Structure 1
Amino acid sequence: MVKTQAPPQSAVTGASDLDAVLFREGMSRVVGAVHVVTTDGPSGRAGFTATAVTPVTDSPASLLVCVNTASRSAQALLANRVFCVNTLGGDSLALADVFAGRTELQGQERFTVGQWAKLATGAPALAASVVSFDCRISDARVVATHHVIIGEIVGIRLGEQKPALVYQGRLYREL
């Protein structure tokens, strides 16, 4: 039998100033696949690291991506109306850091790391990804601080079967 300890009352009900902190701590305990979301088109090439990616439906095949409204990459993605979700393998931790802004590389320079190709939409697809989902935006809306973007998948490139890169406990892990 597993014993559980009740959290302090403030952690259960959460005062309004604690809600965001408690939410972030709770979400840090959830394992999330690590992706690099990329775009290219008239508004330029851009990309960012994301764990807020999830399938929506299989017919039509679609996924949902969330990105902060303050992100420069978000503006390019929305203007280009296309994106590619590149699911990273466990061997791509350095690339995840590059697109998360944890290195000195900025903007276009980020694409000097890794080998990139284009699928149907022209958004960059990472050659070393576990899988790449090429998408056209079918819906986008702002929810509080983030854009919630739904993309209809127009192409899929399966990569090598290998352990995936995941994020949990504020650390990258291989699974």
Structure 2
Amino acid sequence: MNMVDHQFDSVDKTTFRNGMSRLGSAVSVVTTVFGGRRFGFTASAVCSVSDTPATLLVCINRASSSFPAFANTRYFCVNTLLPEQEDISNVFGGRTSAADRFESGEWGDGLTGVPLLANASVSFECELTTVIDEATHRVFFGRVIQVRENAEKATLLYCMRRYLRG
């Protein structure tokens, strides 16, 4: 890719956040196990990368209380929420202690032992393949090793700083 050599200032934080709030996305809870304990956080920054091999990416703020666990684990799961699971999104959003988060929802174990939300819209169990640090976040790339779908087809969406029932 040929990059043009121009110097432009980045837009300010508020302008960027307001613009990004219009980019609706599915709401997921990303989970892992580290040191025998379960960890998880709410994420809207999840994206398909490739279907050959099946790969997705998820972003986590390096200041997150869950970051040390995710930085030192090999497996993780992206559990995409159903419309009626706003409460789970809020619990995993950071204001609840890591130890208490899994009291919300019904959790089981995936192939690798990572927490799977029993009635998620869809769960993608992944093996970490690559990480990239960019600005305040780390991007995790995961090779998908299991997909579990719910018969319910709807997904909880977030757009304009509010939940939408898709």
User: Equivalent residues in 2 for 1:2-81 (5 A)?
Assistant: 16=10, 18-42=11-35, 44-81=37-74
2:106 corresponds to 1:115: yes
Quick check: which one's strand share is greater? 2
Question: How far apart in 1 are the matches of 2:151 and 2:89?
Answer: 18
Q: CA deviation at 1:43?
A: 6.4
Q: Which runs of 5+ in 1 are unaligned?
A: 1-13
Conserved? CA contact 1:28–1:169, under 8 Å: yes
SS at match of 1:101: helix
Number of aligned residues: 159
Task: Report the alpha carbon displacement of residue 93 of structure 1 after superposing the two structures with TM.
Answer: 0.3
Larger radius of gyration: 1
Q: Which amino acid aligns with 2:64?
A: S
Shift of 1:44: 2.8
- Give the 4+ runs in structure 1 shifted more than 4 A: none
1:81-103: CA deviation from partner (whole Å, max 9, x where unpaired): 2110000000100000000024x
* Larger helix share, 1 or 2: 1
Whole-Å Cα distance in 1 between the matches of residues 66 and 50 of structure 2?
25
* TM-score of the pair, normalised by structure 1: 0.86
Tell me, in whole angstroms, the C-alpha distance in 2 between the residues paired with 1:163 and 1:130: 7
Q: List alignment gaps of at least 5 residues for structure 2.
A: 1-7
CA RMSD, 1 decimal: 1.5
SS at match of 2:12: helix
Query: 1:35–1:50: 8 Å Cα contact kept in structure 2?
Result: yes
TM-score, with structure 2 as normaliser: 0.90
Sequence identity of aligned pairs in percent? Answer: 43
Structure-to-structure mapping, 1:92-171, within 5 angstroms: 92-102=85-95, 105-171=96-162
